[in-house]
Amino acid sequence: MTEKKSIVFIVNPKSGTQGKKAILKWIDERIDRAVYDYSIVNTEYAGHATQLAAAAARDGVNVVVAIGGDGTVNEIARSLVHSQTVLGIIPCGSGNGLARHLRIPMDPKAAIDLINKGYQLTIDYGKINNIPFFCTCGVGFDAFVSLKFADSGKRGLLTYLENTLHESLNYQPETYEIENDEGTVKYKAFLIACGNASQYGNNAYITPQASLTDGLMDITIMEPFTVLDVPSLSFQLFNKTIDQNNRIKTMRAKKIKIHRQSDGVLHFDGDPLMAGKELEVEIVPQGLHVIASDDTPKVKEETPTFLQQITHYFTGLHLKGEELLAKRQSHLFELNHTLLRKLSKKSD
């Protein structure tokens, strides 16, 4: 008889955008008891998930599952790197970037079923100033919005969208130097994103060619743009083609240094942190075992998408998936017109 695996579900009751009571019920109903002996623990304070995961790894627990958003996933994953304990995810945050890249279903019941299947993958992770990240990190506008989002007191997609649109009207790009093994380049940039995975979350692909297993990070530098560029940038961000935009520069490296003109905010997996002028970002190959989809067949992306929710927010339209695909670009121009109206009101 095969020995059962130990699995611990770590729940952050305060994270994410949905309640956890139903998820705990589904775990009890659906977990494969022939494979797993399971337990559930709740976090009680900030950083507690990191401690719980570290204790589980020391005790030789086979699988630790994060139930929460990207911040909870980061806290748990950082304690599991370079251990034999495998990370599982039941995503219930507002972005779920790593889970989406791993093709973990957004439906909790389907995510539990995936855990039962137990397909494992060993992935890279990143560090920015020695702080682990697993999806993306960066400086510039996305880090600035992360700080505003953290201070907003509300979670969810629409809060993030409101902060993004409001701040984009006032944000001033900065000048950065990026140093790697091939030399130093200088850019005035709206943002610099370093991707271990391909997206921020919500199917927003900021580094669309990134791989979790190639030992490299993909770097996207977004140069200053005008409001007239917003439709194409938005469309390409969600269509996995932003690297083809002429406002975008890309590079790939194992390690870089970023020099900026003043202290400021950075983000790691969407969480903001104040830091100095000098930043080091690197990829650590093959550092974390995760439960993922085996991609046979591929998990279908859920609906509604982030693009649909943007459209709903500004136009009140509730289009079906096929209609949205046909009209997506025209709706992005409507978004651009909204921004133009906001700009004109500010200048009055």
- Average pLDDT taken over every residue of the chain: 83
Give the confidence band of 93 by pLDDT, cuts at 50, 70, 90.
confident
pLDDT at residue 319, rounded to an integer:
36
Distance CA 268, CA 138 (A): 7
Distance CA 323, CA 11 (A): 38
Find the mean pLDDT for residues 156-170.
Answer: 57
156 pLDDT higher than 80: no
Find the mean pLDDT for residues 68-84.
Answer: 95
223 pLDDT higher than 60: yes
Distance CA 123, CA 130 (A): 18
Q: Which residues sit opposite 138 in a β-bridge?
A: 193, 267
**H and E: helices and strands count for the chain:** 10, 16
Q: Is 161 helix (H, G, I), strand (E, B) or coil?
A: helix
**To which H or E segment does residue 169 belong?**
none
Most confident of 105-119, 223-237, 282-296: 105-119
And the tokens for 194?
């370093």
pLDDT at residue 151, rounded to an integer:
60
pLDDT at residue 188, rounded to an integer:
96
Give the confidence band of 234 by pLDDT, cuts at 50, 70, 90.
confident
Distance CA 9, CA 64 (A): 6
pLDDT at residue 246, rounded to an integer:
94
Q: Count CB atoms within 10 A of the CB of residue 29.
A: 9
Give the confidence band of 202 by pLDDT, cuts at 50, 70, 90.
confident
Task: Report residue 281 CA to chain centroid gap.
Answer: 17
Most confident of 7-16, 94-103, 320-329, 331-340: 94-103
Q: Which fold has domain 5-118?
A: Rossmann fold (3.40.50)
Per-residue pLDDT tens over the stretch 40-55? 999 998 899 999 999 9
| Model confidence, pTM | 0.81
Residues 6+ away with beta carbon under 8 Å from 281: 126, 127, 128, 137, 194, 217, 255, 256, 257, 258
Give the confidence band of 225 by pLDDT, cuts at 50, 70, 90.
confident
And the tokens for 279?
């930043």
List, by residue range, all CATH 3.40.50.10330 domains of the chain. Answer: 5-118
4 pLDDT higher than 90: yes
Per-residue pLDDT tens over the stretch 124-152? 999 999 999 999 999 998 888 888 766 65
List, by residue range, all CATH 2.60.200.40 domains of the chain. Answer: 136-285
User: CATH second-level architecture of 136-285?
Assistant: Sandwich (2.60)
Find the mean pLDDT for residues 283-300.
Answer: 78
pLDDT at residue 169, rounded to an integer:
65
| CA dist 71 → 11, 98, 225, 236, 298 (Å) | 12, 11, 30, 26, 26
CA dihedral 321, 327, 329, 330 (to 10 degrees): -140
pLDDT at residue 16, rounded to an integer:
57
pLDDT at residue 314, rounded to an integer:
39
Say if residues 176 and 189 touch (Cβ distance below 8 Å).
yes
| CA dist 224 → 7, 64, 341 (Å) | 47, 42, 20
328 pLDDT higher than 80: no
Task: Look at the block and give the residue holding tokens 């989406």.
Answer: 100
Distance CA 156, CA 42 (A): 22
